[in-house]
Every structure is written in C-alpha cells, then in structure tokens.
Structure 1
Amino acid sequence: MKRQLTTFFLLCIIGVTAQKFNKEIITENGLQFLVGQINLEGLQSQPYSNWFQNRYDNYQPDNAMVDLFKEKLGEYEIKLFLGTWCGDSKRESPKFIKILEAADFPMEQLEIIALDYRKGFYKTSPTGEEKGMNIIKVPTIIFFKNGKEVNRIVESPLETLEEDIAQIVFKKDYVPNYAY
C-alpha cells in the first residue's frame, strides 16, 4: 500500500509540473496566439499554419552554408523565443526551423517558447522561461553550449540566418541586432 501511495504521489507531482505544449490564448477581440513552450505541431496547426507552413515550404536553405556548420551545430542547445502574433517571428521562424532540419540538428535540443502579446503580459510566458534572458525583440534565438549562452540572433539576421549561424558556431565576432 505504501508503495502504491508513493507511486500515486510521484505521478501527481509529474502531472502538476509537466509543461503543457501549445497553450492558446484567444483575446476578447478574437486575436489568437500561442504562449509558453510550443512545438512544430502547434506551428503547423490552424491558424498558425497559414503563415508557418507556406514560409517553411517556400524557403530553400543555403545548403553550402549549412554544410559548413552542420557538424558543429549539434554541440549546441537552442532556445527560440517568438511571438505567433509577430511579423518578424512569422518571417524568420519557419526559415530557421527549416535550416535546423537541413543541418540534421537534433530537434530535442531546440526549445521553442511563444511569448504573450497582451498588455500586462507582453513578451512573457506563463511559466517564465524568458526571465533573466533579456528578451527585447522577437524572435530571439539563443545558442547555448555546456549550459552557457554563446550568442544570439535578435529579431533578424545581420546577413542571412545561415551566415549568422555560421558566425556564431565558429565563434567569429558577431554582435546581434539590439545587443543585450
């Protein structure tokens, strides 16, 4: 009996702490957006697939550039902060994900966090993943190695996403837009 109670309590704790993916907010005026941790399923669901899928399908990564950083990129963990309501996020996020896939990046090393749009919650997530991360603009793509931030791409690349990723991965002098 004691073992069953312990198992029950552990399952309860796991259930309470487990992050729900693809939480959706619908405002009084009908604006829909995702908040918190999201995944590709969320981006490929309606109404987000209206902008995500088309931009993803139509983007052709620079495979020569991808081949340059492909091997080293797998050494990183990446956090992508975006707003499903944000034009810059809608433009850059589908391309970025397609580049990661072209590079055979282990997608379990990618965390996607959608930030809120509402007044009083602007650029926050329900579970606070943005806290201490100095998120000024979205999208913000943060590259981590061994648990430490290496660099980030903020709002848009300086050159192209592929070139900026290569600069970061090869530790070149790279200063993102809106330096933090």
Structure 2
Amino acid sequence: MKHTCTLLLMLTSLFSFSQEFNKEIKMENGQTFMVGKINLDGLSTAPYAQWFQKGMEDYAVDQSLVDLFKKDLKAYHIQLFLGTWCGDSRRETPRIIKILEAAEFPMDQLEIVALDRRKEQYKKSPTDEEKGLNIIKVPTLIFFRDGKEVNRIVESPLESLEEDMAQIILNKPYTPHYAY
C-alpha cells in the first residue's frame, strides 16, 4: 500500500509539472496559432504544415558552411522563439530546422517556444519562457553554452543563417539585428 501511494504521488507530480505541447489558441475570426512549448510534430500538422513543409522543401542548406560548425554546435542548447502567426517566423523557422538537421544537432537540445499574438499577451508564452530574455522580434534564436547566452539571431540573419550561425559558434564577432 505504501508503494502504491508513493507511485501515485510521483505520477501526480509528474503530470502536474509536465507541460502541454502544441497548445492552440483560436481567435474570434477563426485563425489559430500555437503558444508555449511546441515541437516539430506540431509544426508538421495543419494549418502550420502548409508553410513549414514548403519552407523545408524549398530551402537549400549551405552544407559547406554547416560543416564548419557542425561538431561544435552539439555543445549548445538552443531556444527558438517564434510566432506561428508571423511571416518572418514562417520564413526562417523551416530554414533553421533544416540547418540543424543538416548539422545533426541533437533535437533534444532545442527548445521551441511559440509566442502569443493577442494584444494583452503579445509576444508572451503561457509559462513565461521568454521572461528576462528581451524578446522583441520573432523569430529569435538564442545559443546557450554552459547555461549562459552566447549570442542570438534576431528576426533575420545578417548574411545567411548558416554564415551567422558559423560566426556565433566559431566565436567570431557578431552583433544581431536589434542588439540590446
């Protein structure tokens, strides 16, 4: 009986601390968007798959640049803040994912957070993952090493995603758009 109670307590704690992925908000006008932590499964379902899959298919990765940082990239944790409602996010997110896949980046080290578009919650997530990170534009791709932010790409790359990522990972001077 004691073990059963302990097991039930552990399971209850696990479920209360686990977060729902791919949470959708439906606006009065019928538009939907995701908020909070999302994953590639969420981006691969309607209506998001339409732009996500097309973006993946249409983008040609510069593998020679990826090869420059591929090995070192695995030492990073990456957070991607986006808006599934945002044109820049819809353009850049599939490209980012395709580059990470080409680099054989461990996807369990990628956290994707979709931000809200409603006026009262604008660019916030339900569980505040963006808090203290100065997210002013989406998408924002933040590179962390040993728990500290190294650098970020904000809204769009300066040169190309591959070139900008190489600059960051290889510790070259890099100042993103909208540097704070």
Q: TM-score, normalised by structure 2?
A: 0.99
Q: Alignment length, in residue pairs? A: 180
Partner in structure 2 of residue 45 of structure 1: 45
Partner in structure 2 of residue 103 of structure 1: 103
Alignment of 1:118-129 (within 5 A): 118-129=118-129
Partner in structure 2 of residue 148 of structure 1: 148
Partner in structure 2 of residue 86 of structure 1: 86
SS in 1 for 2:119: coil
What percentage of aligned pairs have identical amino acids?
63
CA distance, structure 2, for counterparts of residue 120 and residue 2 of structure 1: 47
CA distance, structure 2, for counterparts of residue 9 and residue 133 of structure 1: 34
| Counterpart residue type for residue 137 of structure 2 | K
Displacement of 1:2 in angstroms is: 2.0
Q: TM-score, normalised by structure 1?
A: 0.99
Displacement of 1:3 in angstroms is: 2.0
Displacement of 1:46 in angstroms is: 0.1
Unaligned runs of 5+ in 2: none
Unaligned runs of 5+ in 1: none
Deviations 1:55-106 (A, max 9, x none): 1111110011011111111110000000000000001000000000000001
* CA RMSD in angstroms, aligned pairs only: 0.6
Deviations 1:95-136 (A, max 9, x none): 000000000001110000000001110001111101111100
Q: Is the aligned partner of 1:158 residue 2:158?
A: yes
Q: Is the aligned partner of 1:173 residue 2:161?
A: no
